[in-house]
Amino acid sequence: MKYCTKEWYEMTQRTGFHLLLKVNEKAEKFSEGFYNFVYAQREKEELEIAEESSKARFEDYFDQLDFATLEEYNKAREKFTPPKFNPEDIKAKFAKAQEYNIELLERSLPEYILEKVADIRVLALDYCTNEVKWLIENYCKENEKRTEEVMNELMIAEQREFDGEMPEFTKESFHDCEISAVEKDGGNIVLRFNKGGFTDCKGVIFKNAEIIQQDGEVIGAYWLYDEVFKVENKLEIHALLAGDDLEYFTIKCEDTEFIW
């Protein structure tokens, strides 16, 4: 990958830390009491949301227009069961989410921001000082700007590569599609997708193809982004996948065909 690299993808995940932040002057100093108060408040909110969801009816989630036929609608309605309300389970999940958010902030935010944070636990609950909010907001906006610049650079590079006549493969987006199978069919390689992502396409046939890079297990990984280039009169399709880790996957082929 020349543009949508692993490092670039990590940057795309660091563009929204500021969106839910709330300023509170008590976040300026470490306070166990303030942390416990905010934690209990947020936990209470999660419990209320879960309890409300347990009372939901089928009609609160779906409309008849969501189904192709009335029969399908009625079958789905009969099978519908609202999520059970289990306070202890909700509390355990909230505690686990808090641990994850703390770890995420610690590995994602630069040191010049972290050193301004009195209690990372409070920041993980979306409370901070005005200064920290300003720093995080600017950091996220700069990341967003750079990630968009890279996507524009890729678009221009691909347009130049193919003189504006983009190959068929680029007309579908496989972002967030899960790869369910990789098959050899003579000289062809077939990738099949589980339903998901932003396309109804069920797979792709890469004609007279060879895999020239595969970092890890492809089956079960999610297709994130791709780049297409012309190499020796063939297509070279580079993909960034999300499996156990971020992985690069590259196929060289003569052409592609969608499976519907």
Query: pLDDT per residue over 223-238, tens digit each?
Result: 999 999 999 889 999 9
Q: How many residues does the chain have?
A: 260
pLDDT band (50, 70, 90) for residue 198: confident
Mean pLDDT of all residues belonging to the chain: 95
pLDDT band (50, 70, 90) for residue 127: very high
pLDDT over 70, % of the chain: 100
Strands 246-253 and 210-214: antiparallel
pLDDT of residue 238: 97
For the segment 150-173, the average pLDDT, to the nearest whole number, is 93
Cα angle at 209 between 203 and 215, to 5 degrees? 80
pLDDT of residue 50: 95
pTM equals 0.83
For the segment 200-206, the average pLDDT, to the nearest whole number, is 94
Residue 96 CA to residue 90 CA, distance in Å, equals 10
Query: Could you report the per-residue pLDDT of 235-258, keeping only the tens digit for each?
Result: 999 999 999 999 999 999 999 999
Scanning the chain, the segments in alpha helix (DSSP H) are 6-12, 32-54, 58-61, 70-79, 87-108, 111-114, 120-124, 130-161
Residue 254 CA to residue 7 CA, distance in Å, equals 30
Measured in whole angstroms, the distance separating CA 141 from the mean position of its chain's CA atoms is 18
For 142-169, give the secondary structure using H, E and C: HHHHHHHHHHHHHHHHHHHHCCCCCCHH
pLDDT of residue 23: 98
Q: Name the packing angle between helices 87-108 and 32-54 (round to 10°).
A: 130
pLDDT of residue 138: 98
Closest C-alpha to 226, from 155, 156, 143: 155
Strands 177-185 and 127-128: unpaired
pLDDT of residue 219: 95
Asked whether the predicted pLDDT for residue 196 surpasses 80, the reply is no
pLDDT of residue 64: 85
- The pair of structure tokens assigned to 198 is 């932003």
Helices (H) and strands (E) in the chain, counts: 8, 10
